[in-house]
Amino acid sequence: SPVIGVLALQGDAREHLAALDGAGAQARSVRRPEELAAVEGLVIPGGESTTISKLATAFGLLEPLRDRVRAGLPVYGSCAGMIMLADKILDPRSGQETVGGIDMIVRRNAFGRQNESFEAAVEVAGIPGGPVEGVFIRAPWVESLGARAESIAEHGGHTVAVRQGNLLATAFHPELTGDHRVHALFADMVRAAR
Ligand code: GLN
């Protein structure tokens, strides 16, 4: 089974480790460049994207991450992780960098304060067996999508999941639901990239 890391600088890394386990992957946390070098795929969890960005820089991981994404490493970003995979953020905080790789512009906290948290059934292209329960927590949406990226799910007229090559991103948090289909899709992407 594929060895998949979870970037464990900040955010809900533990839930992703459990979901990857449930999807049949060998999950391990990644905090150091040597740990990043040892994985075949990586999850960037939800949390706070500015904090993850600053810690990735402080831990010497930002450039190695960019290098591996350029070299084709499969990466799945959830919520703050989706923001980290965006080539561009609409309103970045000062000092906020992304790893990039997906040809898209994301809007942070897009669903607004009134709806800081909600759940919705989301149909995801490539995931059979009915909609997944999308947990949205101060979630971003995709403001605009470049030609190389593909929208695989929408909610309220906005793209909330994207695929581009070996990269996958969701605005929502499947790791909180006990449904491991998104992680299983990602594990398949990792196997296919071998
Ligand atoms: N709003 C957060 C951010 O901008 C993301 C929230 C989340 O990951 N649940 O990073």
Tell how far the Cα of 156 is from the centroid of ligand 1, in angstroms: 19
Output the pLDDT for position 118: 95
Residue 98 pLDDT exceeds 80 = yes
Among 79, 155, 180, 183, which one carries the catalytic annotation?
79
- Higher per-residue confidence, 112 vs 140: 140
What value of ipTM does the predicted structure carry? Answer: 0.94
Instruction: Tell me whether residue 173 is one of the annotated catalytic residues.
Output: yes
48 lines ligand 1 (CB under 6 A): yes
Q: How far is the CA of 194 from the centre of ligand 1 (A)?
A: 31
**114 pLDDT higher than 70:** no
What CA–CA distance (Å, rounded) separates 72 from 141? 24
- Of 61, 4, 16, 29, nearest to 170 (Cα)? 16
Assessment of whether the complete model's pTM goes beyond 0.90? yes
**Structural domain boundaries, residue 96:** 3-193
pLDDT tens-digit series, residues 54-74 = 999 999 999 999 999 999 999
Percent of the chain with pLDDT over 90: 96
- Residue 171 CA to ligand 1 center (angstroms) comes to 9
> How many domains does the chain fold into?
1
191 has pLDDT over 70: yes
CATH code (residue 106): 3.40.50.880
pLDDT confidence of residue 115: 67
Residue with tokens 């810690």: 55
Atom of ligand 1 nearest to the CA of 48: 10
* Section 171-182 average pLDDT: 98
pLDDT at 5 exceeding the cut of 80: yes
